[in-house]
């Protein structure tokens, strides 16, 4: 990978999508943690409709930790996999209080100890809450990083570490958010709009 090409890809995405932010709504660190858990195999748009209901019914971490899991299930039912998601949210709330003083951890090892938290969720927390270098590998990142020739694998963990080697650490989290924007708007899974893609000259699918 030529350094100039990855720099041009980063610069182009920054121009096209100057506002790089997670599309999940939240105001507290644990709200992003739980929203990300709910977003597994569910759209961010749907999650953003559900979380206000969840947090109005359970406005504090302590109230979530003490909630009846079946009541949480009713609220998050439309997100899919509602039983496991509700269980993980309640157990994570309890663990955050008992083990971490009510604060979401700021390191990968501790984040991965929380129920239902994998590397993708942990990287979202590290990048968006703590502004640490992070590579969030979602479906858009997998698709676009392969199409752009940045990686040649569909394995999320391999993609994460390969992109860490390619990207400037301070830009890695925002880069992944911009891939989501670009993947939704232009480089879609089906019928990508190559003719109007600002990354066309850097895409090995075309050149």
Q: Which of 120, 132, 165, 174 is catalytic?
A: 120
Given a cut of 60, whether residue 206 has pLDDT beyond it is no
Residues 98 and 144 in one domain: no
- Name the active-site residue from 138, 155, 158, 193: 138
C-alpha dist (Å) from residue 146 to 23, 31, 118, 184, 200: 23, 31, 22, 16, 14
Same domain, 177 and 144: yes
pLDDT greater than 90 at residue 3 = no
Residue 202 has pLDDT above 60, yes or no: yes
Q: What is the pLDDT of residue 106?
A: 98
pLDDT value at 207 more than 50: no
Residue with tokens 């992109």: 163
Residues 125 and 172 in one domain: no
Tell me which of 129, 160, 190 is where a domain ends: 129
Determine the average pLDDT of the residues in 36-57: 96
Q: How many domains does the chain have?
A: 2
Tens digit of each residue's pLDDT (9 = 90 or more) over 10-28:
999 999 999 988 999 999 9
Q: What CATH number does residue 174 fall under?
A: 1.10.1670.10
Which range marks the domain in which residue 72 is found?
A: 29-129
What is residue 101's three-state secondary structure?
A: coil
Residues 17 and 38 in one domain: no
**Residue 207 belongs to some domain of the structure:** no
Is the domain of 97 the same as that of 158? no
The 10s digit of each residue's pLDDT in 96-151 is 999 999 999 999 999 999 999 999 999 999 999 999 999 999 999 999 999 999 99
Residues 11, 102 share a domain: no
User: What is the domain-level CATH number for residue 54?
Assistant: 1.10.340.30
- Percent of the chain topping pLDDT 90: 95
- Which of 79, 108, 129 marks a domain boundary? 129
User: What is the model's pLDDT at position 1?
Assistant: 58
- Cα gap 89→120, rounded to integer Å: 16
**What is the chain's mean pLDDT, rounded?**
96
Other beta carbons less than 10 A from residue 17's beta carbon: 18
How many CA atoms lie within 13 Å of 58's alpha carbon, on the beta-carbon side? 24
Q: How far apart are CA 199 and CA 206, in angstroms?
A: 10
Task: Compute the distance between CA of residue 200 and CA of residue 87 in angstroms, rounded to an integer.
Answer: 44
Give dist(CA 136, CA 153) in Å, integer.
15
Read off the pLDDT of each residue in 82-87 and give the average, rounded to a whole number. Answer: 98
3 is catalytic: no
Query: Are 172 and 109 contained in the same domain?
Result: no
Report the phi/psi class of residue 168: left, alpha or beta, with left for phi > 0 and alpha for psi in -120 to 50: beta
- Please spell the DSSP secondary structure of 122-168, one letter per residue: HHHIIIIIS--------HHHHHHHHHTTS-----HHHHHHHHHHHS-
Q: Are residue 95 and residue 68 in the same domain, yes or no?
A: yes
Mean pLDDT computed over 3-11? 93
Of 129, 160, 189, the position where a domain reaches its end is 129
97 part of a folded domain: yes
Question: How many CB atoms within 10 Å of residue 127?
Answer: 22
Is residue 100 domain-shared with residue 50, that is, in the same domain? yes
Are 121 and 35 within one domain?
yes
> Is position 113 annotated as part of the catalytic site?
no
- 62 or 207, which is more confident? 62
If asked whether residues 47 and 108 sit together in one domain, one would say: yes
Same domain assignment for residues 141 and 121: no
Report, as an integer, the average pLDDT of 162-180.
96
- When pLDDT is cut at 50, 70 and 90, the band that residue 94 belongs to is very high
What share of the chain in percent tops pLDDT 70? 98
């Amino acid at each position: 990978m030529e350094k100039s090409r990855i720099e041009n890809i980063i610069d182009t995405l920054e121009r096209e999508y100057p506002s790089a932010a997670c599309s999940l709504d939240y105001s507290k660190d644990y709200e992003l943690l739980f929203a990300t858990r709910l977003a597994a195999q569910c759209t961010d748009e749907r999650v953003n409709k559900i979380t206000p209901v969840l947090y109005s019914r359970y406005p504090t971490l302590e109230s979530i930790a003490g909630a009846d899991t079946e009541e949480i299930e009713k609220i998050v039912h439309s997100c899919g996999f509602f039983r496991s998601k509700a269980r993980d949210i309640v157990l994570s709330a309890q663990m955050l209080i008992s083990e971490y003083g009510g604060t979401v951890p700021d390191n990968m090892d501790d984040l991965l100890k929380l129920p239902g938290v994998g590397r993708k969720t942990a990287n979202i927390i590290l990048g968006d809450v703590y502004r640490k270098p992070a590579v969030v590998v979602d479906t858009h990142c997998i698709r676009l990083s392969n199409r752009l020739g940045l990686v040649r694998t569909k394995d999320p963990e391999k993609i994460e570490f390969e992109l860490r080697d390619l990207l400037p650490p301070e830009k890695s989290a925002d880069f992944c958010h911009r891939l989501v924007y670009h993947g939704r708007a232009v480089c879609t899974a089906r019928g990508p709009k190559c003719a109007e893609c600002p990354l066309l000259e850097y895409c090995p699918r075309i050149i």
